[in-house]
Amino acid sequence: MPKLYSGAEIVFKCLEDQNVEHIFGYPGGAVLPIYDELKNHPSIKHILVRHEQGAGHAAEGYARSTGKPGVVLVTSGPGATNVVTALTDAYMDSVPLVCISGQVPSHLIGTDAFQECDTTGITRPCTKHNWLVKDIKDLPRIMHEAFEVATTGRPGPVLVDIPKDIQFAKAKYFNPKKEKKLKQKSLNRFNQKDIDQLVDLMKKASKPIFYTGGGVINSGPKASELLRELVSLTGFPITSTLQGLGAYPGDDDQFMGMLGMHGTYEANNAMHDCDLLINIGARFDDRITGKIDEFSPKSKKIHIDIDPSSINKIVKVDLSIVGDVSDVINATIKTLKKKNLNLEKSNKQKISKWWQQIQKWRTKQSLNFINSDKIIKPQHAVQRLYELTKNKDTYITTEVGQHQMWAAQHYKFNKPNRWMTSGGLGTMGYGLPAAVGVQVAHPKKLVIDIAGEASILMTMQEISTAVQYNLPIKIFILNNQYMGMVRQWQELLHEKNYSESYSEALPDFVKLAEAYGCVGIRAKSPGELDEKIEEMINIDKPVIFDCHVDQDENCYPMIPSGKPHNQMLLGPKDQNENKITGKGKTLV
């Protein structure tokens, strides 16, 4: 007779078979049998967080920086509800997570038992799929299916809810086998005809643009390599969404910077004026498109995405190619080479005017800001951080707000999986726990959370996790005492009524760092910034860096609400210049 295993044992056997090395979690009554089993599985290391939301974001950071699914283990009731934000975040940004939650014993489900909640009901809209295990015999199948669903097609979070009696019950275990039905859902659905059509459109275009997104990162490092080859082969300009940063080198000449609400002037204008828009693994998010009616009005649009439901969801496209980004780009490159279409050379004339126009836009230098020698400008702080860390293989996470946009604008990424930020859901408090997860996956690498003082306080407790596991993460706080992005919107759109966006009381972050058992550093003037950043990098411990920055700085350029891409609001430098010319004219 085959050996019978308890539900808790089966959970770990599945994790082992799925090559899971780390799980992020927090124990509680309804998962104790699983925690009891932990000691028997030395290949799996558990990271004890301080709040279940932290476990979720840490697993997200882990997943994004490795490409492997992140695993979360929480208890029933509050354990499960606390992880909902992280699951929703992962769902929006297509991050593979497998969340295992304990549940009250089967016979108590539905009785409002202690720490009971309808976990599968609550998490249904924020997971790709979830399961309530009602029979121990289903557990091995469900566990393997959970990993399969989380990682195939467009990745995302899944949840397995296991009642406590099921964790004790015994059953046979079996290894993962390929589920045919699921596989079908992830198959590429394009053929050579689609690729030929794509190549044909590329050949005809005189103002082409690549618009790439997180799908390139999710498709694996190979996709980024292929993307670089494709871009150099075609000679086309490329712009990226927030999530796609790093798929293409940020300092390359063909790269126009990020697009969208706080994207560069050249990228947004090129999107507006192009005649061929090639979307690779992006989803026409509303922060990207601005006003839909006037979005890229003159272009033929091609959309390459693994998720068929992304096609025509927001923007109607002329050609859709449903498939894995790597496979599509690979097929495109092959076709380009076979047809011997050296677009860069043959099309040089055709797109040279386009490049001239782009260069003209570039001269606006839309990311510029007026620097100061008295007060640290937040953009300057990010630029210095970049300059002083660019030679290391640095991993950057962020919270959400102005600092996030400045990080995206001024920190240049050359490799995929180095940039972890909450884009879709926009979760303040994401960055610190995400940095914990990244550092767990890459213990020897430099991991920095570019943060704001308001965001960081939302998940501050996780610094304690970092201290416990000697994870030398660096929390680089651009401290302006405001919820900066809220303040900026209030300044520009709500007549400077700064309603509740100022934090009158803030902790002393240096003392706070010390209280947590890590190191605190404070920088108040531009003169000391470099030296302090160097100091931070050289400390082999978690560091909280309290960087006092200009309170009134706004994030520019920006597309004001309801405006198309070519009506950007530029920074104060440009606004000043325009004012001067205005005055000058009246004098004449």
Partner 1 sequence: MVKSKSAYSIPTKLGKIDTHIIVVWVDNEASVLSRVVGLFSGRGYNIESLAVAEIDVKKKLSRITIVTTGTPQVIEQIILQLKKLVPVHKVGNFKREDKKVIFKEMALLKIVTNSSKIKKALNACKKYNPAILDQTNKSVVIQITALKKEIDNVIKILKPLGLVSASRTGAVAMTRGAEIFN
Spot the catalytic one: 9, 12, 24, 52. 52
The question of whether 553 is a catalytic residue gets the answer no
Spot the catalytic one: 128, 164, 207, 301. 164
Q: By C-beta, is 208 or 260 nearer to partner 1? A: 260
Q: By C-beta, is 44 or 182 nearer to partner 1? A: 182
The question of whether 485 is a catalytic residue gets the answer yes
CA distance 544 to 515: 11
Q: By C-beta, is 208 or 290 nearer to partner 1? A: 290
Q: How far is the CB of 146 from partner 1 (least distance, A)?
A: 10
Residue that the structure tokens 């589920």 belong to: 179
Spot the catalytic one: 143, 258, 428, 485. 485
Q: How far is the CB of 405 from partner 1 (least distance, A)?
A: 13
Q: 252 by DSSP, 3-state: which?
A: coil
Q: By C-beta, is 258 or 521 nearer to partner 1? A: 258
Residues 427, 57 contacting (CB under 8 angstroms): yes
> 233 to each of 17, 214, 455, 478, how far by Cα in Å?
41, 22, 42, 40
Q: How far is the CB of 165 from partner 1 (least distance, A)?
A: 17
DSSP conformation letters of 100-149: EEEE--GGGTTTT-TT---HHHHHGGGSSEEEE--SGGGHHHHHHHHHHH
Residues 415, 393 contacting (CB under 8 angstroms): yes
Report the chain's C-alpha Rg in angstroms.
25
Q: By C-beta, is 308 or 572 nearer to partner 1? A: 308
Question: Phi and psi (nearest 5°) for 450?
Answer: -80, 120
Q: How far is the CB of 224 from partner 1 (least distance, A)?
A: 26
CA distance 22 to 441: 8
Residues 37, 11 contacting (CB under 8 angstroms): yes
Measured over the CA atoms of residue 553, residue 558, residue 563 and residue 566, the dihedral's sign is positive
The question of whether 114 is a catalytic residue gets the answer yes
The question of whether 295 is a catalytic residue gets the answer no
Spot the catalytic one: 21, 115, 294, 468. 115
Spot the catalytic one: 114, 313, 337, 534. 114
Q: Provide the binding-site residues for partner 1, judged by CB under 8 A.
A: 120-121, 124-125, 128-129, 132, 134, 149, 181-182, 185, 286, 289-293, 307-309, 311-313, 316, 489, 493-494, 561-562
The question of whether 420 is a catalytic residue gets the answer no
Give the single-character DSSP code of 47.
E
Q: How far is the CB of 129 from partner 1 (least distance, A)?
A: 4
Q: How far is the CB of 23 from partner 1 (least distance, A)?
A: 23
Q: Is the peptide bond before 557 cis (omega within 30 degrees of 0)?
A: yes
Q: By C-beta, is 128 or 380 nearer to partner 1? A: 128
Active site amino acids: 52, 114-115, 164, 485
